Structure 1
Amino acid sequence: MSDTTTRALSLLNLLQTHRHWPGSELAGRLGVTERTVRRDVERLRELGYRIESTPGAAGGYRLEAGSAVPPLLLTDEEAVAMAIGLRVAASQRLVSGPETTITALAKLEQVLPAPLRRRVVALAESVQPAGLNAGAAVSGEVLGELALACRDHERVRFTYTAASGEVTRRRVEPHALAPADRHWYLLCWDLEKDDWRTFRVDRLDAVEHTRVLFEPKPLTAEQIEEFIFVARSWVRQAVEADAVMDLPLDRMRELFGQWGQGASDEGDGRTRWPVGGADFRETMYGLSWIPAGVEYTTDLAAPARDELRETLQRMLRALDAPPPAVPPQRLRERAPGR
């Protein structure tokens, strides 16, 4: 393989792994001049790759979908079949390593021409794997667009429909896509809220790329996992209540971290915090995390309120009663030298 061909393939690989590249950065990575980059871009265009170029100091190159599938040794039918399979695998979580499925889907759909994309959408919607308890339907196209934005660190806008039915337009810096409990979640920095937010992807549409890049804020894998775990917990529970604490909202968020999501300022140095669970025991566990010494009230309704009161009264009686006698066998086991 000639040096020219090797360099052109290296350039193609760079264009496929980032949404936009400045010409100077491509030249630096390839160890050539910007003039050579321009020549190699023309060679790729002749092979069928549609590469958009923009002039100026902030200009560069961007791989776009063309009028036909570029030479990937795939027919149109094979490309459609692969895209459908990746969409189904991503939306149904059929394989391990879901981030690999998403990035592969994003890379393939980035170069699919519009007619083939429409075929993929139509066919993928009719494919339902048997024997699966699937979650809410997720648009493969939306997953692909969000995957590109996460990969390229590009700000996006989208429309989000909350569980309450409220529809809002959001502007965010996407950080990660993660599956959990048959749903996909987008973890991102919300530019209006100036804070991290997690969105259910099936409630999200009308994704708009802004072409504004950002420097991602550092997050560990453990922090991402905690964000997603908290988001999973924010579904309607069988037993729900609000706790109004004698604690300012800022201090409450400092103490609760991500578990403070949903809290609101009640005024007079108090904070309202929603808490719930599958039964009164889980709700009681949530209330037990309110810091020591912080007084609070709760609107926990009957019968959970009565069940919780009866359980706490028995606990208090048990704590006030003399401890049970230790059996002789246990005393012998505790004896020194044993």
Structure 2
Amino acid sequence: MISTSSRLLHLLSLLSSRPSWTAGELARRMSITERTVRRDIARLRELGYDVTSDPGRWGGYRLSDGGKQVPLVLDDEESLAVSVALREAAQTGVIGDDQAALSAFLKLRQLLPARVASRLGAMDDVFEHTTRVCGQPLSPGMLAGLARVCRRCERIELAYRNMRGVDSVREVDPYRLVFTGNRWYLVARDVARDTWRTFRADRVVEARPTGRAVSFDDPPDAARFVAEMLTSDYPLYATVRLPLPLADAMRLVPPTAGVHRVDGPDSTIVEVGGQDTESLAIYLVRLGTPLTVLAPGSVREEVRRRALALADSNTVAGAADSPPRPDR
């Protein structure tokens, strides 16, 4: 289920995208009930957003452009959340060039109450990050520009530099931006080739809007499309069944590591790629959850062997432990 904060951000985005929405339209667009829409509208008003509504069955909600400026007042938990988010953005490059996020984080940190700064400092002492994947710097402006043409469904002339450093210009119809945890990818339809493609956002030299609106009859699942692209070069694949709903399975095995499909309300089939049988088996065992390896047999046997060895080692270790002493 989508979190309340994510839902409010989605609702605010929809209200900003056109002059008016009915409760039914918002409910269908967000896959929630009209009652939840009304409750979320009330929450936005409590936060200071000027959302007006017309009476009657067909009345719509509107976000006023001339609303009052809402003062930014954050409690301790909100201040900590914003600080952590900015620091992670600076570390990961999730919003492009990390300098802007780092600058904002350092400015905010100076304004934090001592009690919040102390909690943030405790996190700094224990958090570690792996080396970031190399790539060209991605400016927030470029990321925002790509997001804007995706939202407008507007064809662009894409100046792009491939992995060999060769530049090209092509017309594409941008659809979605997907963040993999390492990089941003633009999912778009190549007009000349009439095929769906992925483009690394940090290799986009320029994206020139053409002013031509486009529509998509049968667009791909963008996250799945990128995942399939990223996992298409492994020499070996394993297909497993996880006894988890799709959302939980995608948290355990992220879309960048496997391709998912629903197998009932409480089960998900995942295809995972790896270099060899041993590496795949190690990855699956380390998931730490019951699973069924459907194929291939070599991975199934290696997972079984490792699971049995792990169970035996735990049994031996448990037998060697001293019995617990009662509390005194």
- TM-score of the superposition, structure 1-length normalised? 0.36
What TM-score do the two structures reach when normalised by structure 2? Answer: 0.37
